[in-house]
């Protein structure tokens, strides 16, 4: 089921950056966006390294990675935005855009994640679920948490050529 069927796109949302600035996702129009719910104390946290490597490899070709910290799973993201930003930059040298902590499931689910889950396979099951979004804001593919950034490389390379 594509997001186009729902009459909207990822670009319809404005999210708060990790620095507290309103960031319209429409500012990513024309780019390939990988939306990821992240956590600092998860078994998948080392994926930050692979995500940063993908970003460095493909950012000049139009890839943006958007990290959304979430504390929905076993309290694996307990920090404040400032603590999360410090962790990501010092431990993993993250330079891709990070956003303010949100909820990715449940009654307080962020509208962006309500849209993502309703248009691509249901609830988020764990941290590091990834959504590959095309240059028009439509969801191309969903990757579950166990899929590593390295395993997504060919899908990203292919999508960048479209």
- Active site residue ranges: 42
Buried-exposed string 112-130: b where 16+ CB fall within 10 A, e elsewhere: bbebbbebbeeebebbbbb
Structure tokens at 15: 């999210």
Structure tokens at 73: 């799973």
Terminus-to-terminus CA distance in the chain, angstroms? 19
Largest Cα separation within the chain, whole Å, is 41
Give the CA-trace dihedral at 75, 11, 139, 159, to 10 degrees.
-110
Rounded to whole angstroms, the Cα distance separating 1 from 16 reads 27
């Amino acid at each position: 089921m594509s997001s186009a069927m729902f009459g909207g796109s990822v670009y319809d949302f404005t999210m708060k950056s990790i620095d507290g600035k309103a960031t319209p996702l429409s500012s990513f129009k024309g780019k390939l966006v990988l939306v990821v719910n992240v956590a600092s104390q998860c078994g998948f946290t080392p994926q930050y390294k692979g995500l940063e490597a993908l970003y460095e490899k493909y950012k000049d070709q139009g890839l943006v990675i958007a990290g959304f910290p979430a504390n929905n799973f076993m309290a694996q993201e307990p920090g404040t935005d400032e603590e999360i930003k410090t962790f990501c930059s010092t431990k993993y040298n993250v330079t891709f855009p990070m956003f303010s902590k949100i909820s990715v499931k449940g009654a307080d689910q962020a509208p962006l994640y309500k849209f993502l889950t309703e248009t691509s396979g249901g609830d988020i099951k764990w941290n590091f679920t990834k959504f590959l979004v095309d240059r028009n804001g439509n969801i191309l593919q969903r990757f579950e948490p166990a899929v590593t950034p390295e395993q997504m490389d060919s899908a990203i390379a292919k999508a960048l050529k479209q």
